[in-house]
Amino acid sequence: MLALDSDPIVAIATAPGRGGIGVVRVSCGRAGAVAAHALMSSLCGQTLEPRHASYVPFVDAGGNALDRGIALYFPAPHSYTGEHVLELQGHGGPVVLQLVLQRCLEAGQPFGLRLAEPGEFTRRAFLNDKLDLAQAEAVADLIEASTEAAARSAGRSLEGAFSRDIHALVDEVIALRMLVEATLDFPEEEIDFLEAADAHGKLAHIRARLDHVLGEARQGALLREGLSVVLAGQPNVGKSSLLNALAGAELAIVTPIAGTTRDKVTQTIQIEGIPLHVIDTAGLRETEDEVERIGIARTWDEIERADVVLHLLDARAGVTDEDIVIAQRFPGGVPVVRVLNKTDLTNVGPSVNRLTAVDDEVQICEVRLSAKKSEGIDLLRAELLRIAGWQAGTESVYLARERHLIALRAAQSHLSLAAAHAQERAQSLDLFAEELRLAQEELNSITGEFTSDDLLGVIFSRFCIGK
C-alpha cells in the first residue's frame, strides 16, 4: 500500500562534491508506472528492463546527451521505497549531476515530480512496510558510523536483529495479555489464574529477556554516541599531555607555563570501537586574566555536559585543598576518575585504586600514571571502558539510539509494576493487564507499530537528502 501524499520525488543520492560515480534517484509515488515509463522514454530514450542494468545516454529535451551511464528500473513493490523507482548512475561531477536532476524535474513536471526532502525515500520505505522504524534509523546510523564496530552493529540492525528481539518480546507480552484478559472476561470461572497459567513464570521470563535486550542496546548506544570525557584540574597538572597520550599525537601545546591552554581542545579517539570525545580544558584557578577567565567558564560548561570527568592532579602533591574545592563543584551523577599524573617523578608506579562510591550514581577511582612517559595509559583506558559498562571481548548485536533506551526502560518500569500487581492477585488483575498493555506500546514504539507522526518527522528530518 502506497504512503499517503506520495508525490513523485527525485534527488541526488550521492554525497556532495566530485566523485567517480553520481546517482540520481526517482521514486514515482502515486504516479506509478505511467510516470516511470514516461521518465525512461524522456531521459534514456527507451524502456528499461526491470532490475537490469542498461548502459544508456541521459538526454536533454532536444535529444542531446548530458551524460552516459547505467540506468536501473525497479517496479513496485520490489524497490527500496516500495514504489516504482528509477536510478541513473552517471559521472559524479556536481555540474553534470545538476543537469541530470533538472532534466528529471523537467520531464516529470506533468506528474508533479519534486525534489525530495531529507530522509523522504527511507520514510516511504517505512510507510510502505519495506522497513520498520528501527531498521530505517539503522540506515542513517550505518551512513554516519564513525567506527568499524559501529558500522557492523548498524548493519545488523538494518538486517533486523534488533527488530526481531523487540518483536519476540512483544509476542510474549501479547500472549500473557491474552491470558489476563480472558480471566477478566470470565470472572465466574473458579480458576486461580496466576498459578494455573504460570503468569509469574511467564512475566519473569519476559523481564529477564527485556533486561538482556536493554543491555545489548546500551552497548549499541555506546558505539553510536560514544562518551564525552572532560579533562579537568588545576593548571600545569598535565591535561594537555594526557590528551596527547590518549590520542597518540601532539594535538595540544604542552609547556611548563601555567595557563597555556585558554580554550578547549577536542579529539575523538577509539577504545574497543567506542568513540571517546576527549576534551582538554583550561586549568581551573582564580585569575585576573580576562581571556583565561572566559576559558575557565567554558571548562565548567563542558564539565556540566560530560559523561565522565577525568580530574587530574599532580601525583607529587596529591589531593590539595584546591583540588577538593574543584571536586566539590563537579555535578552530581557524573562518574569521576581521579588521575594522579607525573608518577614518573615519584617513587610509586602506575596503578588503579577504586574508592568507595559517593552514592549509587557516582563512581570514583584513582588512576596513577605518567602522561609524559605514556605509562599507565592502558589502565586509564580500561577504567573508562568499565565506567561505560562495556563488556570486554563482546560485540554489540545491534546499534541503538537514546529513544530506544528510553522506551526499553519505560517498558521495564511497566513490567515491574505489573509484577507488583500480580503479587496482589485478583484484586489488581485489571491493573496487571493495563501495565502489560503500556509495556507493549513502549516496545511497539521502537519498531514503529505505535509511533506519533511528530516523532517520525523528527527522525527522518535528520537523514541526508537522497536517502
DSSP state of 15: P
Containing 96, the helix (H) or strand (E) segment is helix 94-107
Question: So what's the pLDDT on residue 270?
Answer: 79
CATH of domain 231-388: 3.40.50.300
- CA 305 to chain centroid, in Å, comes to 18
What SS3 state is found at 453?
A: helix
Domain boundaries, the chain: 9-131, 143-222+401-448, 231-388
Q: Which residues are annotated as a binding site for GTP?
A: 236-241, 255-261, 280-283
Question: So what's the pLDDT on residue 113?
Answer: 93
Residues listed for the chain: 467
Residue type, 390: W
Question: So what's the pLDDT on residue 238?
Answer: 84
Question: So what's the pLDDT on residue 139?
Answer: 86
Q: Which residues are annotated as a binding site for Mg(2+)?
A: 240, 261
Q: Which residues are annotated as a binding site for K(+)?
A: 236, 255, 257, 260
Residue-level pLDDT, tens digit, the chain, 467 residues: 444 458 999 999 988 888 889 999 999 998 889 999 999 999 998 999 999 999 999 999 989 999 999 999 999 999 999 999 999 999 989 999 999 999 999 999 999 999 999 889 989 998 898 988 888 888 888 887 777 777 888 888 888 888 999 999 999 998 888 887 777 766 555 445 566 667 788 889 999 999 989 888 877 777 777 788 888 888 888 888 888 888 765 543 333 434 444 456 778 887 777 788 888 877 666 666 666 677 777 877 788 887 888 889 888 888 888 888 888 888 877 788 888 888 988 888 888 887 655 454 445 688 898 888 888 888 988 888 887 766 655 555 678 888 898 999 999 999 999 888 877 755 577 888 889 989 999 999 988 876 556 556 656 776 676 66
Question: So what's the pLDDT on residue 467?
Answer: 66
Distance separating alpha carbons of residues 145 and 162, to the nearest angstrom: 17
Distance separating alpha carbons of residues 292 and 309, to the nearest angstrom: 21
Residue 323: which region, alpha, beta or left (left: phi > 0; alpha: psi -120 to 50)?
A: alpha
Alpha-carbon Rg for the chain, nearest whole angstrom, is: 29
Distance separating alpha carbons of residues 113 and 202, to the nearest angstrom: 52
Residues 6+ apart with CB under 8 A from 424: none
Question: So what's the pLDDT on residue 103?
Answer: 94
Alpha helices in 329-428 (DSSP H): 377-388, 402-423
Architecture of the structural domain at 143-222+401-448: Up-down Bundle (1.20)
Q: Which residues are annotated as a binding site for (6S)-5-formyl-5,6,7,8-tetrahydrofolate?
A: 25, 87, 130, 467
Question: So what's the pLDDT on residue 395?
Answer: 56
Angstrom distances, CA of residue 186 to CA of 182, 193, 200, 432: 6, 11, 20, 16
Distance separating alpha carbons of residues 253 and 20, to the nearest angstrom: 40
Phi, psi of 85 (to 5 degrees): -125, 135
Architecture of the structural domain at 9-131: 2-Layer Sandwich (3.30)
Containing 95, the helix (H) or strand (E) segment is helix 94-107
- CA 92 to chain centroid, in Å, comes to 29
Question: So what's the pLDDT on residue 279?
Answer: 84
Q: Which residues are annotated as a binding site?
A: 25, 87, 130, 236-241, 255-261, 280-283, 467
Place of cell 540520481: 24
Is 336 within 8 Å of 364 (Cβ atoms)? yes
